[in-house]
Structure 1
Amino acid sequence: MIGFVIAVFAITGMIKGTIGLGLPAVSMGLLTLVISPFQAATLLIIPSLVTNIWQLFAEGQVWRLICRFYPLLLGIILGSMWSVFPTLGHSNSHFHSEALLGAMLALYGIYGLFSKNMPNLAPYEKWLSPLVGYLGGALTVATGVVVIPVVPYLQSLQLKRDDLVQSLGLAFTVSTFCLAAFLYFNPVDDHTSINYQLSLIALIPALIGMWFGTKIRYRISEQKFRKVFFCGLVIFGLYAVVHQLGVV
């Protein structure tokens, strides 16, 4: 079990270091092969939180991002507190939600790969940010990951490579805190509390993998990063759908 966890977080850490996301999404998909979605989400807390904070502070200018995206962050907090979706631990809600999110993510990735010009939503950022944040927070406590619609939304703001990665780190950091609070106050039973020891063990390979992934990101151009980013979204999305259909 420990060997499997180490391998999962080493791989997903490298993915996250390269394109700025993927650790929770891929880890949840792999970990739920052997443990429940709720247990997998608790295991993700420490590696996700630490790698997100690293991603957020790696480039500097954090306060500038907070001042710009605070409506998005407030929306994430509210969405995680009052979700309109069935949350983790409720029957098969996780599986249905993950399959739907995977399909949406794959379609968005395909669109990004073949579209010459992404839509620019920056002029509508003021009123879109809280709405996108709420949906992202609500889906976080439903699936254990924050991807849709936060990732496509930030991508549509025409951010540069490193600004995009850092903004994702900011949104992911807040959502991870929200998920941790949700899991703490809403345990499924006495046997599914957060396994801090195993979560700490998972942190080490995640950090090593992320360090390698960051080195890869710094070596590729903006254009290549865009292709890798969208290819990653397609792969994550298709994997989520295939996994929930029981093929893998």
Structure 2
Amino acid sequence: MIELSTWLVSAIATTFFLAGVVKGVTGMGLPTVAMGALGALLSPITAANLLILPSLMTNVWQLLAGPAFRPLLLRLWPMMLAIGIGTILGTALLARGDTVLSTAMLGGALVVYAGYTLIARPFAVPARVEAWLSPPIGMITGVVTVCTGVFVMPAVPYLQALGLEKEDLIQALGLSFTVSTMTLAAGLLWRGALEADNLLLSALAIVPALAGMWAGQVIRRLVSPATFRLWFLIGLLFLGAELALRPFL
């Protein structure tokens, strides 16, 4: 259980509002922003607890709003199953409370994601390798998710490389994020690291997260998404670098 103060509650609410804004503008990024900011205030395991309900609600909506749930599930189930297995394997590290290592891993995951998205050229995964490549990608995603609370690596660039149509890609991301959130919660519960008090605070965080999503949709109509995305990734890169280097400073 964390000791709450007016300042900390305000900081958590502000974090989820800003994370919601990013998701509203770009369609993703709520866990990344939330874990990046909360990682500077709380232990990674506590931050992961707070992330569960706002992330689950927004991602389930994104999943169910798409046009092709069943075909995507039939295509991607090996990757989703591997995410679950990777999560189970990774919970041992997170549940130990090794905040130095997990904070550095979180920072590294943010740097890799932001750096990759900023400079990498798009690539395509041939259909002939998808069947055997999906499980290891899912496994790695599960381990990274449970150790850092960040769902994006390497699942997001991999799904982008499958050549899905726009709406199918958005739904596939919703599927991956939903599975990651649910298995993270299950892993924390299995390890005895899921605290009821933190879940209550997580439920309250749904409100600023949804408000931020609404604000983000408004901003999306006023500001170029490409410009917003550029500065968001630059900020994320610096934040991740600070978290990765913190244990060594």
Q: Which amino acid aligns with 1:177?
A: M
User: 1:99 is matched with which residue?
Assistant: 107
Q: Deviation per CA, 1:195-241: give whole Å up to 9, x if none.
A: 22211110011112223434656x59xxx767765664454343222
Q: Deviation per CA, 1:26-72: give whole Å up to 9, x if none.
A: 11121233322111110111101001101112233222221221111
User: 2:87 is matched with which residue?
Assistant: 80
User: 1:202 is matched with which residue?
Assistant: 205
The structural deviation recorded for 1:100 is 2.0
Of the structure 1 ranges 85-94 and 73-82, higher mean CA displacement relative to structure 2 is found in 85-94
Q: How does 1:1-248 map to 2 (within 5 A)?
A: 1-83=8-90, 86-88=93-95, 89-112=97-120, 115=121, 118-123=122-127, 124-187=129-192, 192-193=195-196, 195-214=198-217, 232-246=232-246
In the superposition, the TM-score normalised over structure 1's length comes to 0.83
Q: Which amino acid aligns with 2:203?
A: L
Of the structure 1 ranges 124-133 and 27-36, higher mean CA displacement relative to structure 2 is found in 27-36
Tell me, yes or no, if the aligned pair for 2:79 and 2:135 is still in contact at 8 Å. Answer: yes
Tell me, yes or no, if the aligned pair for 2:108 and 2:244 is still in contact at 8 Å. Answer: no
Tell me, yes or no, if the aligned pair for 2:104 and 2:243 is still in contact at 8 Å. Answer: no
The structural deviation recorded for 1:9 is 0.9
Give distance in 2, aligned partners of 1:104 and 1:145: 11
Of the structure 1 ranges 36-45 and 59-68, higher mean CA displacement relative to structure 2 is found in 59-68
Q: Which amino acid aligns with 1:100?
A: G
Q: Deviation per CA, 1:49-97: give whole Å up to 9, x if none.
A: 0011011122332222212211110110111112398335224221221
SS at match of 2:93: coil
Q: Deviation per CA, 1:101-145: give whole Å up to 9, x if none.
A: 122113211223xx3xx2111422211111100100011111122
Aligned length: 237
The structural deviation recorded for 1:193 is 4.8
Of the structure 1 ranges 99-108 and 37-46, higher mean CA displacement relative to structure 2 is found in 99-108
Tell me, yes or no, if the aligned pair for 1:105 and 1:234 is still in contact at 8 Å. Answer: no
Q: Which amino acid aligns with 2:236?
A: F
Structure 1 runs (4+) deviating above 4 angstroms are 214-217, 224-234
In the superposition, the TM-score normalised over structure 2's length comes to 0.83
Q: Which runs of 5+ in 2 are unaligned?
A: 1-7
The percentage of counterpart residues that share the same residue type is: 38
Q: RMSD between aligned alpha carbons?
A: 2.7
Tell me, yes or no, if the aligned pair for 1:98 and 1:143 is still in contact at 8 Å. Answer: yes
Give distance in 2, aligned partners of 1:226 and 1:122: 28
Residues 92 and 243 (structure 1 numbering): CA distance in 2 closer, same or farther, change over 3 Å? closer
Q: Which runs of 5+ in 1 are unaligned?
A: none
Of the structure 1 ranges 58-67 and 178-187, higher mean CA displacement relative to structure 2 is found in 58-67
Q: Deviation per CA, 1:133-185: give whole Å up to 9, x if none.
A: 01000111111221111111112223343332221111010010011011112
